[in-house]
Amino acid sequence: MTETIPNDLNAIRARAAAFAAEHVVALAREVSAWQDTGLLVDGRMRELAAIVAPIAGDHKMQMAESFADRAARSAVLAASSLPDLPKPFRVEQPQNHEPFGLFTGKQMIEYRLSKPKSGREGH
């Protein structure tokens, strides 16, 4: 039996999001293998691409990958106990003995931006 895909933007997006959430692990595996090998198996990713094809046309694989990525991020966030704000992280002491310690991501960016360039890239 061939399933009819509705040609309504909101209905297709909702169906694609629900499909991606239901098959998030299989999609993550397929996308990772696809990125590693350049080969996409005939699996859930192609099914998701068929769902979005009426609204994505030639870009159905990119749109399907976007739905798969969003579902994976949502699954990680739902399972995560991390707070919304970044925790401080320890910075190893640089070779030129600059100060080190605990910084938040924002503090580290501000420190890096305020530091004069040494002329040596990557050091």
Q: Which residues pair with 90 in a beta bridge?
A: 102
Q: What pTM was computed for the model?
A: 0.61
Q: Which residues pair with 103 in a beta bridge?
A: 89
For residue 123 the two structure tokens come to 């050091």
* Model confidence at 67: pLDDT above 50: yes
pLDDT at 80: 74
pLDDT at 77: 83
Domain boundaries, the chain: 9-79, 83-117
Please give the single-letter amino acid code of residue 104.
Answer: T
Q: Give percent of the chain above pLDDT 90.
A: 53
Q: Find tokens 């030639």 and name the residue.
A: 58
- The rounded distance, in Å, linking the Cα atoms of 77 and 65 is 18
- The rounded distance, in Å, linking the Cα atoms of 27 and 41 is 11
